[in-house]
Amino acid sequence: MSALLGGIDARIVQIVQNGRGITGAAGSTTTLVRRLSLVPPLVGQPYGVTANGTAVTYTIGFMEGIVEILDHLAAQLLAITGLFTSVTKDYTGDGSLTCTSLAPVTFTSPVRLAVADTAAVFSTHAQAIAIPVGSFRRSEGKAPLDDPGLDGAAFDRAYDIVWGTTDEGDGVNEFDAVSLVTVKAAVEVGVLVGQGVASLIKVQGTETTADLSSPNERALGISLQIRRAMTCGELYQGNDVDPPIIMCARDGATTTRMVEGGGRMIVSTPFVMTLAIDNTNPYRP
Amino acid sequence: MSVADAARRAAHAGRKIVDALGMRPTTVCIRTEVYAADIADGSTASTTTDTAIVPRPKVVKLADDKASMYGANPVGLVQGHAILSTYEVGPITPPFPGGGSTLASLVSPTTVDTKHRALVLLTGPDFAAAGEVCVIVHADWTKPLRGMLVVQRAPQNASGT
């Protein structure tokens, strides 16, 4: 696994396989630290706003973070467009956010708004949509699910991460400490079809082998489960992987297809992720 | 005993003689693997049981195909090229009173689930010391006197390869 995507791969495994978000499950005791880069693509020009010249870390709720991001961007725009020569915010350390004054700001370091959520327990919502441990299993040998050589006993509810394209956009600022990379990947899950392979179904919850008679229903239910967990900010964010994922969204419709091997269906859900890469990290394997 | 059963018994006796004469150098075992959890990336079998088919059936190499994406034999065997060897195994005597095998009795499909796997292990002078692990890709038990298997090199990640 490449150094660039190794951490992202590990995060997806935490979400899909290891129960990230469920209290007590592996990967859910990590301190949540969200690092968000808000750098507009301005080539070759160091610029930005930071609080006291350094990245800011403080405790804040997720929605508060969204509001803060928008507020922060607005402040930058005001400064950049010259309406104000200086903009400063006062970040208090008690978790609350106050905006006390407008004061001089130095355009020397890039914008990096770090939002730290140090709670080890995820929100009720995140826990509700988190995928229980053991619901899915990584494809044996990380084999593509459409390879008929994959053992039938290892197919049902096996998942594979199919990496697609990366894109850095047109205006990457190499002087910035952080830049954004877009990565596309599909999470594919194997679903067995037909009663003849009933003994090989990996049943979960209230599922029974009779559910094999409605594979599409089962497949699309699985895709919804994965989509909700994969796009839950609390579950994918965190500085414990590098580069951190700052955004993960569904990238098109979920599709199903039959493949060789006898009674095998693959349900594929594409995602697009934005990564905040550290420009000082070579990300070598 | 029906005529068919008598014929199978005779065929089985004949195959025993051929084996005893050393004309069947390859030992064919049904390898049953049991895993503690669902078979997944990185999992290893907790129990591996090899049951030899007696008498030893004939093993004939049918073809070498291109490997699937999932891989085939260790590259050391063929100097860097991953090939997918296919073998014909048989005849195996169908059941008769006192002997023979059905396909089901060989591979025990009723116990196959997400924690079990049935493979075929070929060992002998024509194979590497650890043998060659294969999967069954074709089985024919429709003939009155012989059951035949076609097996193919197991993917790299199947245990024992």
Q: Span B61-74, mean pLDDT? A: 68
DSSP H or E run through B122: strand B116-123
Question: Which of A9-13, A194-198, A209-213, B77-81 has the least mean pLDDT?
Answer: B77-81
Q: Span B63-76, mean pLDDT? A: 62
pTM of the model: 0.74
- Name beta bridge partners: B84: B65
Q: How much is the pLDDT for A52?
A: 34
Instruction: Summarize pLDDT for B105-159 with one digit per residue, the tens.
Output: 888 765 778 898 888 999 999 887 888 888 888 999 999 999 999 998 887 655 4
**pLDDT of A37 above 50:** no
pLDDT band at A107 (very low <50, low <70, confident <90, very high): very low
Q: Compute the count of residue pairs across chains A and B with CB atoms less than 8 Å apart.
A: 73
**End-to-end CA distance of chain B, in Å?**
43
Of A144, A154, A201, which has the smallest distance from its Cβ to B39's Cβ? Answer: A154
Cβ atoms of A156 and A191 within 8 Å: the answer is: yes
Of A149, A156, A201, which has the smallest distance from its Cβ to B155's Cβ? Answer: A149
Q: Contacts of residue A138 in chain B, CB cutoff 8 Å?
A: 40-42
Q: Which residue has the higher pLDDT, B72 or A60?
A: B72
Question: Which of A31-40, A98-107, A153-162 has the least mean pLDDT?
Answer: A98-107
Question: Which of A33-42, A268-277, B42-51, B59-68 has the least mean pLDDT?
Answer: A33-42
Q: How much is the pLDDT for A2?
A: 64
Q: Contacts of residue B69 in chain A, CB cutoff 8 Å?
A: 143-144, 147, 149
Sign of CA dihedral B121, B122, B127, B129: positive
Q: Give me the DSSP letters along B21-54.
A: TT----EEEEEEEE-SS---TT---SEEEEEE-S
**pLDDT of B20 above 90:** yes
Distance (Å) from the alpha carbon of B160 to chain A's nearest alpha carbon? 14
Q: Contacts of residue A201 in chain B, CB cutoff 8 Å?
A: 114
The mean pLDDT of chain B is 85
Q: How much is the pLDDT for A33?
A: 40
Q: How much is the pLDDT for B140?
A: 94
**pLDDT of A29 above 60:** no
Instruction: Answer left, alpha or beta for residue B131, where phi above 0 means left and psi between -120 and 50 means alpha.
Output: left
**pLDDT of A226 above 90:** yes
List residues in chain B touching A: CB distance below 8 A. 37-43, 68-71, 109-110, 112-117, 135, 154-158
Look at B112 and A154 and tell me if their CB atoms are within 8 Å: no
Of B38, B69, B156, which has the smallest distance from its Cβ to A137's Cβ? Answer: B38
Q: What is the DSSP letter of B124?
A: S
Look at B71 and A141 and tell me if their CB atoms are within 8 Å: yes
Q: How much is the pLDDT for A41?
A: 30
**pLDDT of B80 above 70:** no
Instruction: Summarize pLDDT for B37-62 with one digit per residue, the tens.
Output: 999 988 888 999 999 999 999 999 99
Tokens encoding A73? 């961007």
Q: How much is the pLDDT for A139?
A: 92
Look at A199 and B113 and tell me if their CB atoms are within 8 Å: yes
Look at B135 and A151 and tell me if their CB atoms are within 8 Å: yes
Look at A151 and B155 and tell me if their CB atoms are within 8 Å: yes
Q: Contacts of residue A200 in chain B, CB cutoff 8 Å?
A: 112-114
Look at B39 and A142 and tell me if their CB atoms are within 8 Å: no
Q: By three-state DSSP, how is residue B79 classified?
A: coil
Cβ atoms of A175 and A45 within 8 Å: the answer is: yes
CA B153, chain centre distance (Å): 10
Q: How much is the pLDDT for B161?
A: 43
Instruction: Summarize pLDDT for A110-131 with one digit per residue, the tens.
Output: 333 333 334 446 778 888 899 9
Q: Give me the DSSP letters along chain A.
A: --HHHHHHHHHHHHHHTS-TTSTTSTTSSSPEEEEE------TT------BTTB-B--B--HHHHHHHHHHHHHHHHHHHTTS-S----EE-TTS-EE--------TTS---EEEEE--SS--HHHHHHSPPTTSSEEPGGG--TT-TTS-GGGTTTEEEEEEEEEE--S---TTSSEEEEEEEEEEEEEEE-SGGGGGG----TT--GGGGG-HHHHHHHHHHHHHHHHT-HHHH--TTSSSPEEEEEE-S--EEEEETTTTEEEEEEEEEEEEEEETT-----
Q: Span A263-282, mean pLDDT? A: 89
What percent of chain A is modeled with pLDDT above 90?
Answer: 24
A134 touches chain B (CB under 8 A): yes
Instruction: Summarize pLDDT for A39-94 with one digit per residue, the tens.
Output: 333 222 222 333 333 333 333 445 555 665 666 666 555 544 444 443 334 443 34
